[in-house]
Amino acid sequence: MYPEYPQYSAPVYPPPPRPVMRRRAPLALRLAISLLTLLLTLAVGLTALGLVLDPQLVVGVLPIVSTRVTGTIYGQNLAQISAGNAAPSPLASATIVCGDTQAHSDTQAHTDAHGHYALALLRGRAHHCVISAPLYTSVDVSLSPRLGDGAYRLDLGPHSVPAANSADGASQTAAASAQTQAATGCTAKVASVVCAALTLRPGALSGQVTASHSHLPIAHAPIFCWDDTLVAQTGASTPISYTTTADAQGHYTMANTPPGPYLCVANQQGAPQSVMVTPLATTAFNFVECATRCSGVAYHAGPVMHTFAAYVIFWAPPGVNFEPDGQNARFQSLVQQYFTDVGGTRFFGLLTQYWDQQGPVRNVATLGGTYLDQQPYPHAGTRADPLSDDDISAEIARVRALEGWKVTDGAAFIVLTGYNVQECATFSNGRSCTFPDSAGNAYCAYHSYVPYAYGDGSRDFMPYIYVSDNYLCSYLPTFANNPIPYGDLYADGAIDSLSHEQFESVTDPEGSGWFDNDPSGGEIADKCETTFGGARANGSTVQLNNGHSYVIQEDYSNRSSGCSYQ
């Protein structure tokens, strides 16, 4: 018998699930997704391979990974500086070269006739850019365009933020977000950056200092040069100065001098001379000066007032008038008018030939303030009981405190007292008064100074002027045969005295500035005290601003070697 085996039967499996029908994406969408993936892959890949491939090739193939940089390059313009306009001009010759700090590959662009440029930089990279132009100092700029930055605007010089639809495609950015940085270099951290305009490269002055009479060299003569741009001419701040010293043969070289106009003097003598320094060039400039003291008025190493601001105190207690007929308002008005008329004129410009080591006098004179004080006099103001110089100083201090007038380098405080009010003062040559002494000597006005301590502990001087409204001072030589300009001989007499002391305060505020031998009698107005030019039809001798004319004496000019109005 054979063994029986169980009957085999096939295993039973569950039926397979029914297939799920999926709708395939449209062919166009699938192609778009594939293309986008490919582009992103290429962008990342090419960006990562920047060490191998030229970034500009990457930018050219895939503009999507680049940032557009546009702007305008400005630079100093020597012709404009010479003409009194310091505003920079667009540079047509500038070049901007940007190096990719990772790939060591350069990208560059050149400005067009209007100073505009445009270039494209790879995003996500740090770029070091150098902006340069012939005769100009280069500027370094760091740019790091981020992946989201579509455009940058980088200007050097004046800047206005462009509109979104501007021709160069730069995006609009609020002016408040723009950065302004120094010319030596800047870093672009926002999409609109303004760096300072390119500056001209320095030049030099070179020459010799010789004596005017012997023509021999002046050994070891000091040379001073001061900025003479329009800003320096009209500003109250101290101009930039450059100094050097001649050698034993009188030769000198003043290197690394920024281009532009300068006023220069040598050997502590003479009027400043004008010279133009040009970039990357040595300008020959010789001085012919006095070996010792020049004729006329000489410099004694002390300060001058570089600008002049008048703070005028009319001191007239009740019952005291500035004119016999009581026309106080007219008197005050004419005095104030003079101080608003004199600055910037050829007359006041006579003073610009005088200087100290901080620079020349500038043709800047203003009226800083006025005050009518009716405080009683501390003395009767008579010959028997005159006011004193201490009273004048105390009055200035009191009004300064009331009005908040500040002591500055260019401030002068002026006091005028009532008609025929007498005053006495003690000077280096003795005591004198507004009324004649036994020898017939008297004064109409004087200028002086008092030491002044600033809040920081530094000390300076405070110049002041006193003017006596005295009948002895109200008659001027031109009145004998000519009309009185405003029909007011008292105001005209006071203005002549004011002008006299103003010019001497400017050139010799401390008694160590410009004078001839004796500072009490050899200052520039003292030397011309009785010299008046020919009178005009209205009786005036000088016309100032605003068509206003006055009877004023001449003042000494070293340039003219005599008394002059200019």
User: Quick one: pLDDT at residue 135?
Assistant: 93
Q: What is the pLDDT of residue 549?
A: 94
Strand pairing class (423-427; 387-388): parallel
- The closest of 247, 241, 246, 299 to 268, measured between CA atoms, is 299
DSSP code, position 471: G
**What does the alpha-carbon distance between residue 378 and residue 395 come to, in Å, rounded to a whole number?**
10
Report CA torsion sign: 436, 313, 348, 350.
Answer: positive
Residue 268 φ then ψ, to 5° = 60, 30
Tens digit of each residue's pLDDT, the chain (566 residues) = 445 545 555 555 566 666 555 555 566 666 766 776 665 665 555 444 444 444 444 444 444 567 788 899 999 888 887 776 768 899 998 999 988 655 556 788 999 999 999 988 877 777 888 999 999 999 888 877 665 556 788 888 875 433 333 333 333 332 323 333 444 567 666 667 788 899 899 999 999 999 988 899 999 999 999 988 877 787 777 788 899 999 999 999 999 999 989 999 999 888 999 999 999 999 999 999 887 767 789 999 999 999 999 999 999 999 999 999 888 999 999 999 999 999 999 999 999 999 999 999 999 999 999 999 999 999 999 999 999 999 999 999 999 999 999 998 899 999 999 999 999 998 877 889 999 988 888 999 999 998 877 666 666 788 999 999 888 888 888 888 888 888 898 999 999 999 999 999 999 999 999 999 766 679 999 999 999 988 899 999 999 999 999 999 999 999 988 999 98
- Tokens matching residue 22: 């999926």
Contact in structure between 261 and 276 (CB atoms under 8 Å)? yes
- DSSP letters of 125-159? S-EEEEEE-TTB--EEEEE---TT--EEEEEESS-
DSSP β-bridge partners for residue 4:
none
Contact present, 137 and 113 (Cβ < 8 Å): no
